[in-house]
């Protein structure tokens, strides 16, 4: 299971760009802070490689390997 902390994410898009399976897509509407948060699109295909969590500069992504 992947969780994106909406309070930490700044919408840089690195996770969307670098996930090898393209799990994320950018939300179409910005939130109240004007940030386009990444939206989980195909979470069931996640390989749990942890790249998104490693690459996120704000430690906003948690990949739970148990699920
Ligand atoms: S753990 Fe890997 S496959 Fe899963 S969302 Fe993150 S980068 Fe993509
Ligand atoms: S890499 Fe982190 S800060 Fe950037 S959009 Fe993804 S979750 Fe948000």
Ligand 1 binding pocket includes 9 (Cβ within 6 Å)? no
Ligand 1 binding pocket includes 21 (Cβ within 6 Å)? yes
Sorted by sequence, the CB contacts under 8 Å of residue 65 that are 6+ apart come out as 48
Q: What is the pTM of this model?
A: 0.92
Rounded Cα distance between 48 and 12, Å, is 21
Please report which confidence band the pLDDT of residue 65 belongs to, taking 50, 70 and 90 as the band edges: confident
Looking at residue 16, the DSSP 8-state letter turns out to be H
- Domains of the chain plus CATH, in order, are 2-63 (3.30.70.20)
Reduced to 3 states, what is the DSSP secondary structure of residue 4? strand
Q: What pLDDT shows up at residue 10? A: 96
User: What spacing in Å lies between the alpha carbon of 50 and ligand 2's midpoint?
Assistant: 13
Q: What pLDDT shows up at residue 27? A: 92
Q: What is the pLDDT of residues 6-57, one digit of tens each?
A: 999 999 999 999 999 999 999 999 999 999 999 999 899 999 999 999 999 9
pLDDT at 67 over 70: no
Residue closest via CA to ligand 1's atom 4 equals 46
Reduced to 3 states, what is the DSSP secondary structure of residue 23? coil
């Amino acid at each position: 299971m992947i969780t994106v902390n909406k309070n930490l994410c700044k919408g840089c898009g690195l996770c969307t760009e670098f996930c090898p399976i393209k799990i994320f897509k950018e939300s179409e509407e910005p939130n109240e802070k004007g940030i386009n948060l990444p939206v989980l699109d195909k979470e069931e295909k996640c390989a749990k490689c942890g790249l998104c969590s490693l690459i996120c500069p704000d430690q906003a992504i948690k990949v739970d390997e148990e699920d």
